[in-house]
Amino acid sequence: MAPHPWTLLALPLVVLLLASVSPPGADAWGKEGHIMVCKIAENYLSEKAAAAVQDLLPPSAGGELSTVCPWADQARWHYHWSSPLHYANTPEVCGFKYSRDCHNSRGQQGMCVVGAINNYTDQLYSYGHSKSSYNLTESLMFLAHFVGDVHQPLHVGYEEDEGGNTIMLHWYRRKENLHHVWDVSIIDTAIKDFYNKSMDNMVETLKMNLTDGWSDDISHWENCANKRATCANDYAIESIHLSCNYAYKDVEQNITLGDDYFFSRYPVVQKRLAQAGIRLALILNRIFDGDETDIKPVQIQ
């Protein structure tokens, strides 16, 4: 699939067209979720990819990709055109179709999370070429964030309820919406109840699962027919299926969700965080390793 022609640095017309567009609920995973995805990815970067990432990171990152992975959520307030890039919505069907679903509210094709992943991947392939016209630091930060986003099931949800944003409920005693439950509350509850309020402890558990419980699944997670770009389309299809079978299932307006929902959905969240990290590493390794990968899997340690 060819990347969408819009770019980060050649967008005066696009900015004018999209400045008034600010779709709700584009946070995804919350800060902690995005940091965890990138901490996992950092662990599986090849030597060349790790060096390229270090070269592209801003000084404020302190040498860690995970530090800048939440950045795109902040950037959307001054890059208004980027808001639709955090998600894709379907017309209340349990399947994602790029030609139907990947657009913004003005109908511009490619302006969704799948188009964004493909576009910023394509931009990063210009790394090392003196004629690159892109801000590759921002391309990297956008890509790392959007790979996390596409794995949050409700970032490929129903257009009618804005990916669960208009479904109001109680998470235990706290009033919020369904989208926020999946962005933040399931993770926060797990960190509080299982990991002594430590995100790093949860990250270590996810890493252990990658070398143990999920080790047989990882080669399947890495399957991707598109050897140059991404399989973001497949990841979006996975997410809408999970939205239908888990996120939306047995949920209605003003319901109270508690232990039954948490314990049955938390394993889904765990696996999606891990998958996002592995797949982000795979994409970055493909970009920066050049012909040497063709295309070898990430090394699980």
Structure confidence by residue, pLDDT tens digits, 92-135: 999 999 999 999 999 999 999 999 999 999 999 999 887 778 99
263 within some domain: yes
Confidence (pLDDT) at 29: 80
46 within some domain: yes
15 within some domain: no
- What CATH number corresponds to the domain at position 51? 1.10.575.10
**Average pLDDT rounded to a whole number, residues 32-51:** 97
129 within some domain: yes
Residue linked to tokens 């991404």: 230
Structure confidence by residue, pLDDT tens digits, 154-175: 999 999 999 999 999 999 999 9
Q: What is the pTM of this model?
A: 0.88
16 within some domain: no
Give me the number of domains the chain comprises.
1
The encoded tokens of residue 232 equal: 């973001």
Residue among 148, 149, 146, 94 at smallest CA distance from 123: 146
Q: Which residue segment(s) compose the domain that 90 sits in?
A: 31-289
The pLDDT > 70 percentage for the chain reads 86
Structure confidence by residue, pLDDT tens digits, 227-237: 556 899 999 99
298 within some domain: no
Cα–Cα dist 99/145, whole Å: 23
**Average pLDDT rounded to a whole number, residues 218-242:** 86
14 within some domain: no
**Average pLDDT rounded to a whole number, residues 212-217:** 84
Confidence (pLDDT) at 224: 80
3 within some domain: no
